[in-house]
Structure 1
Amino acid sequence: MSQAILHGIRVISLCSGIAGSAAGLQLREAGAEVVMVESPSNPARLNAALFATLNRGKRSITLDLHNANDHQQLQRLLASADVVLHDFTPQVAAAHGLQDAQLIKVFPNLVISAISGWPQRYALANALPRETLILARLGLLDEQPGHREGPVFVRMPFANWLACWLCVIGVMARLIARDRDGRGGIAHTSLAQAALVPMTMHWNRAQTPTPTFAKGLDKHIPIPLHPCADGRWLHVHYSPDKAPWMATALAALGEAEVTRLNALWPPSHVAPNFGANKAVIATRPAQDWVEHFWQHDVAAQIAAPFGAIYFDEQARLNGYVVEVDDVVLGKTLQPGPAWKVQPPARVGGSAPVAGEGNKQLLNAAPKPALAASAGGSLAPLHGLKVLDLGAYLAGPFACLLLADLGAEVIKVEAPKGDAMRRLERIFSGTQRGKLGVALQLGDSQTEAVVQALARWADVVHHNMRLPAARKLKVDYDSLKALNPQLLYCHVSAYGPSGPRADWPGFDQLMQASCGWEVEQGGAGQPPMWLRFGVGDFFAGLSSVYALLLGLYQRNHTGAGQMVNSSLLGATLLTMSEAVGRADGSVSAIEHMDGEQTGLSDSHRLYACRDAWIAVAALLPDEVERFHSVTGEHPVDYFAGLTQHAALEHLADANVPAEAVLEAQLDAFLDSPEHAAAGLHTHYPHAVYGDLQQIGAFWDFGDLPLSLQRPPPALGQHTRQVLEGLGFASDELERLAAAGLLTL
């Protein structure tokens, strides 16, 4: 068997949170040796299921970083490493001798990736990195709809999972740049930047917006989650009206009754007969409906209990669920790699026993020095040429990230426009940094243009279904014949193998099948979609990681390949806080209360007299101090206080808490503090004038990001790009007259 892509790369991980630990897992399964440095009494081990999953296949060294001798051992360990991961604030990192400047000076080849709570240039850089508090401060808890008015607790730690992917993308981009430049450096991200990833859809502001852009997508739009006759709920994406059972039932109801039922609900942007659909779906069991919809190409999933996906055939066939014999838990089912490359991912065995590597690993030889180039600092992916054939969210967002990292990206969409252009703010949020070409694929008259683009590209990336790609002659085999070194990256819904390989799928359906809609609904309540579109972003980010693994491999071997990720695989990874068992059971997790306020007295939202606060007291001493302040009835205690007074009382007792900010779009984009930290940016747009959007997702220190190019208007760069590839102006005019191009 050939060596894994990251064979020979050593990673030292000083992470205790989900994001950093999961990042180490991704690097380990791409072939790196990952050595976790933990304290002799590591509290992360108390969460047995999460620890077992996130640390499988790693090595363990126990060190007390407050001990001078152990600190020297850490320095020797770093000399043997290529990458160091940590989730310390800058202040804590400095206390452990891990400040950036010192590491870069002593270990110039080392790639350093920190996942802090906030960017290191931000005023809150040293604040406690607790996700709930960060979401509260950003105003994101007010962005999630609930069963009641007011801000809502978010059950999935989505910022941690997004930060995991941002971290490994940053590390891979730095390793690729290190091969080019001969030096390491930083590749930092934060939970705050990760939390802002999905807000690219919503937090945009234009100087001259169109009415559609200005409207955006309200959080209260009805979501097609429908109760069925057996009490289970079904999430249906887009209109099910053409499915035979639905069509027959709508006809039987008659136009007047359909109109009446629809009027009971606000208009839906995905289903014109939302109310009538709901009434009809209530007449049959969920399993009957989902099988019927699947037979007729209607995207749908039952809102399943948390962990049920471990026993799903499609997940097992694609390796998104793996069997691991853990030293503590025994035989378990765990989330497998969410991406596929060649050579393939290597699933590790049990998480390590604490300190098992102390004798062997602490005497490792230092890495030999690299020869640094004399050139200037270039963006990490400078010179990479990317052809973006994607639509909706996952594919285009992935290519936005590649553009941010310095790649030259050409977006190709149909002359009538990407399907998402009707949702202008969401569309714009995934298109920054690209040159826009409006071109009809699949027509014999444009075949030469498509072939020229394929020969130009280093990378082709898309998320259309593969049968459609083959029909349009943009599948891997067709394009590889034109460009043998091509890297071809595909994002599917359900993975490349199994009975659902070519099915349609969307973020909402993955949330349903992985149990997150049930969990976000709260105890005893109907399921609820997490509005942040996390499955699309998980899939897009994991595809970029797979692509950079492929690029790293190609840079060393010269061989191109097809890599892929999927919505199902990337969302299933977030199930890591539970494991499946051979008897069909699933380990326990914390459930949110029916009021959607939180998980416990000490980790939840509280309504004060005038506003809300978030409390995240997670350690035993913090919980004790919390109860010493609030007594036995914290709800009543906070109801009698103003938000300001409540936060003062908690701060005096050193209890982690934060004000829950609301209606923050304009406040966020108005903030010069956010701008200075790179959390938002702006540029001139051809239609919208000055356009403000979410900013940088990384800090590479000496390597710049590329955030200057706005999203393209339809066909804005068609002539520029195609003339640059050698096509004459009169030929382009002919294709435009035939409706095959937009110039």
Structure 2
Amino acid sequence: MNDLPILQGIRVIELAGGIAGPAAGLQLSEAGADVIRIEPPGGAPDSEAVLFSVLNRGKRRLALDLDSPAGRASLARLLDHSDVLLHDLGPAQALAHGLDDVALSRNYPRLIVSAIGGWPARHPLANAPARETLVLARLGLLDEQPGHRDGPIFVRMPFANWLAAWFCAIGIMARLIARRRDGRGGVAHTSLAQAALAPMSMHWSRAQQPTPAFARGLSKSTPIPLHRCLDGVWVHVHYSPDKAPWMAEALAAMGPAAVAAENATYPPSHVAPNFGANKAIMATRPARDWVEHFWAHDVAAQVAAPFGAIYASTQARVNGYVLALDDPRRGTVLQPGPAYTGAPPPRVRGPLQGLEEVAPATPRARLQAAPVAPAGDAALPPLAGVKVLDLGAYLAGPFATMLLADLGAEVIKVEPPDGDAMRRLERVFAGTQRGKLGVTLKLGEPGAEPALAALVRWADVVHHNIRLPAARKLGVDHAALSAIKPSLVFCHISAYGPAGEQKDWPGFDQLMQAACGWETACGGAGNPPMWLRFGVGDYFAALSSVFAVLLALYRQSEDGQGQMVSASLLGATLPTVAEAVMLADGSVTPIAALDAAQTGVSPDHRLYRCLDGWLAVAALDACEAQALAALAGAPGQREAWFAARRREQALTLLSAARVPAEPALERQGEAFHDDPGHAAAGLHARYRHAVYGELEQVGAFWDFGDLPLTLDRAPPALGQHSRQVWKLLGLDAAQVAALEQQGLSSTLQPSNGHP
């Protein structure tokens, strides 16, 4: 096998600040690309920050004054010899710098350009400041987060930035794959808004003929099983702990009447039928005793840890999710490592480098223009021709394969005849399944083996998140499937990583939020921990797995060899802790704390309540902060200033003073689908579903310009395409009949006029 880094020879120019752009550049760098980061003379304004030192480790840093002719000429020379430009300029800014898509395509036909804006280029807000809080406020997502008070809640975790970084890196990889096919570059844009909407795919959808379960959705008021223990420490338990011996004994001792009385004090929970009784019982023992007992009995649970404590985790270290680096300012520190594994594995290139004043030599020849495509040739999606077998369930696995389908891959989803475990949450299930052909097959049964083998021989990629001991019993582990097809790219998502004591343990998004300290951080000063409702760990894991798959496919196009890649909930969530590092003495560097009212992290970056609603302010540079102070007074006076005004009046005054602000919209689930600006930007998708009729969902997560996405196939009903798939794979009528007679497969029977 080729041991050279997969992206060796690829040069990336990074012109971006904040989190999303640098985090995407870091992924490309550690996959082998030569990343040259462009900063202003004297360095970036945040170059002293811990987060900057992590996100920009190992990259080359170059000072260029892009407002000067010499600086622009140096950048042009670099682009002549580069494969990718990654930037965070809005369309107007890009045009002013001569870096708009039209100019770049004309001057550098093989260059791949990925912009991360606040909003898509075709959105009315495309040139608004790319500030996450403002994007979430305008979308209405701050109102989707439960809190310790009514109204929109400031979301402390910058999840949209971290998701956007993965979308950017994936878009670039998809374009690199397409460039090998088509011989030309092009755009691979994404935005904070598109990234923020990814988790809403499980909530914001609308059906012409919804079933009661689809219409009900998953309310933000559903109680989350975060329980305070005897020692005051909180534990997050996922699914019912009732069968764990201590809990079972305590429930029996309480008796049915007392259990019912405790349960009645809380709304019903879809994950824990005895939520109230569980909470009362958890208060009788220390947290560590509970989690060790739960772990011993296969119950998924995690302490809601302080922010950054995860760096001391043996499980994180053994998987390389935490690494030690010699920080030039802080000495030896522990910080996040790579989030996925592959062959060869991602390689950390060392700590933050110094800022260079002279552009590096460019030994590569200038990239040549692409051949002109024959007239009339239809543009293909980036992953056209790639075949993916999806054996996953819940969220992380299926969302990953849905993204591959969006990018043009043909995806077959396999689920048992009685359905994926998430089908009971119909809207959540549908939000991870579009673009797939749905087939039912009871894995692990001898009679199903020929059908499984046919599926594997058809596929280029197999992807799932079944726990590996169960996968081996079912015959869908890497060893079993690569024996059928050695060239297979096999991707597995686990909870805690492929190595260590916890490698086969159950785990869910909520537990990774707890372990990494985000539940504590999102609760606000002095408050109980709070789960971030957006299921971010599942989406981080899905995206990191897609990046790993695309790297493997890129390498496979060179050597024809298959490989196993892996991602995990823990590995993908841990990079978001990069705001802090652990010092040699075991202490963790401080982060900006969310206030007790859950309104924000400073007077300049927070939510304010007006006479008729909330708005968000993000005055993040010195000039903006000064303008806010001149308009609304000192920090102690501002709440009164906002409270005395209607929201539109306050926003008009803030805009005139050049203070970035947006309304914190509420109850946007329905309004989202009716917004013409969102429609113009491609944020809507619509197709006909076999059960729901017309189905509307969150739309495109990328803009590839001349290359289309594939957003025209509704999520499959149970068994909808079984016979179609078996015919595609060459199974004859007798084989299909045998599968159905043995209860190993089933097919949708149309009824009530549904297609």
TM range (shorter): over 0.9
Q: Structure 2: how far apart are the matches of 1:734 and 1:63?
A: 69
Q: Deviations over 1:67-98 (max 9, x none)?
A: 01110110000011011100000111111110
> How do residues 41-190 of structure 1 correspond to structure 2 at under 5 angstroms?
41-190=42-191
SS at match of 1:360: coil
Contact 1:226 1:233 (8 Å CA) reproduced: yes
SS at match of 2:360: helix
Partner residue of 2:280? 279
Q: Could you tell which deviates more after superposition, 687-696 or 366-375?
A: 366-375
Q: Structure 2: how far apart are the matches of 1:691 and 1:591?
A: 40
- Shift in Å, 1:360: 2.9
Task: From 672, 679, 697, give the equivalent of 1:675.
Answer: 679
Partner residue of 1:663? 667
> How do residues 215-614 of structure 1 correspond to structure 2 at under 5 angstroms?
215-355=216-356, 358-361=358-361, 365-369=365-369, 371=371, 374=374, 375-614=377-616
Q: Structure 1: how far apart are the matches of 2:622 and 2:685?
A: 40
Amino acid at match of 2:93: V
In the alignment of these two chains, the number of paired residues is 742
Partner residue of 2:617? 615
Contact 1:35 1:60 (8 Å CA) reproduced: yes
- Shift in Å, 1:723: 1.6
Amino acid at match of 1:351: L
Q: Structure 2: how far apart are the matches of 1:218 and 1:169?
A: 31
Q: Structure 2: how far apart are the matches of 1:465 and 1:438?
A: 20
CA distance 1:225–1:47, change in 2 (3 Å) = farther
Partner residue of 2:750? none
Contact 1:222 1:268 (8 Å CA) reproduced: yes
- Shift in Å, 1:728: 1.9
SS at match of 2:356: coil
Amino acid at match of 1:84: L
Q: Deviations over 1:454-501 (max 9, x none)?
A: 111000000110111100001111111110100001111000000000
SS at match of 1:693: strand
- Shift in Å, 1:118: 0.5
- Shift in Å, 1:47: 4.7
Task: From 707, 713, 728, give the equivalent of 2:732.
Answer: 728
Amino acid at match of 1:658: E
Contact 2:207 2:693 (8 Å CA) reproduced: yes
Partner residue of 1:741? 745
- Shift in Å, 1:596: 0.3
Structure 1 stretches lacking a partner, 5+ long: none
Contact 1:16 1:44 (8 Å CA) reproduced: no
Contact 1:76 1:366 (8 Å CA) reproduced: no
- Shift in Å, 1:363: 7.9
- Shift in Å, 1:336: 0.4
Task: From 626, 629, 635, give the equivalent of 1:627.
Answer: 629
Contact 2:110 2:368 (8 Å CA) reproduced: no
- Shift in Å, 1:367: 3.1
Partner residue of 1:11? 12
Q: Structure 2: how far apart are the matches of 1:713 and 1:76?
A: 53
Amino acid at match of 1:95: A
Partner residue of 1:647? 651
- Shift in Å, 1:371: 4.7
- Shift in Å, 1:677: 1.0
Q: Deviations over 1:217-254 (max 9, x none)?
A: 00010000000001110000000011111111111111
Contact 1:326 1:349 (8 Å CA) reproduced: no
CA distance 1:80–1:299, change in 2 (3 Å) = same
- Shift in Å, 1:359: 4.8
Q: Structure 1: how far apart are the matches of 2:216 and 2:48?
A: 43
Q: Structure 2: how far apart are the matches of 1:293 and 1:47?
A: 42
- Shift in Å, 1:329: 2.4
Contact 2:184 2:369 (8 Å CA) reproduced: no
Q: TM-score, normalized by length of structure 2?
A: 0.97
Contact 1:73 1:362 (8 Å CA) reproduced: no
Say yes or no: does 1:212 pair with 2:193.
no
Q: CA RMSD in A?
A: 1.2
- Shift in Å, 1:672: 2.3
SS at match of 1:635: helix
Q: Deviations over 1:673-693 (max 9, x none)?
A: 211210011000000000000
Amino acid at match of 1:643: R
Q: Structure 1: how far apart are the matches of 2:185 and 2:168?
A: 15
Task: From 682, 696, 702, give the equivalent of 1:692.
Answer: 696
Contact 1:307 1:575 (8 Å CA) reproduced: yes
Partner residue of 2:714? 710
Q: Structure 2: how far apart are the matches of 1:732 and 1:445?
A: 11
Q: TM-score, normalized by length of structure 1?
A: 0.99
Q: Structure 1: how far apart are the matches of 2:547 and 2:20?
A: 15
SS at match of 2:578: helix
Contact 1:302 1:513 (8 Å CA) reproduced: yes
Q: Structure 1: how far apart are the matches of 2:129 and 2:657?
A: 15
- Shift in Å, 1:628: 0.9
Amino acid at match of 2:178: A
Q: Structure 2: how far apart are the matches of 1:62 and 1:611?
A: 44
Q: Deviations over 1:629-663 (max 9, x none)?
A: 11121011111111111112211211111111110
Contact 2:340 2:568 (8 Å CA) reproduced: yes
CA distance 1:47–1:211, change in 2 (3 Å) = farther
Q: Could you tell which deviates more after superposition, 29-38 or 576-585?
A: 576-585
The percent of aligned pairs where both chains have the same amino acid is: 63
Amino acid at match of 1:346: R
Contact 1:384 1:407 (8 Å CA) reproduced: yes
Contact 2:41 2:64 (8 Å CA) reproduced: yes
Q: Structure 1: how far apart are the matches of 2:378 and 2:321?
A: 42
Q: Structure 2: how far apart are the matches of 1:378 and 1:363?
A: 33
Q: Could you tell which deviates more after superposition, 667-676 or 264-273?
A: 667-676
SS at match of 1:577: coil
SS at match of 1:91: helix
Contact 2:611 2:643 (8 Å CA) reproduced: yes
Contact 2:81 2:362 (8 Å CA) reproduced: no
Amino acid at match of 1:32: A
Q: Structure 2: how far apart are the matches of 1:70 and 1:330?
A: 34
SS at match of 1:6: coil
Contact 1:379 1:405 (8 Å CA) reproduced: yes
- Shift in Å, 1:390: 0.4
CA distance 1:417–1:649, change in 2 (3 Å) = same
- Shift in Å, 1:364: 6.4
Amino acid at match of 1:595: A
Amino acid at match of 2:538: D
Q: Structure 1: how far apart are the matches of 2:62 and 2:432?
A: 41
- Shift in Å, 1:569: 0.6
SS at match of 1:271: coil
SS at match of 1:605: strand
- Shift in Å, 1:587: 0.8
SS at match of 2:46: helix
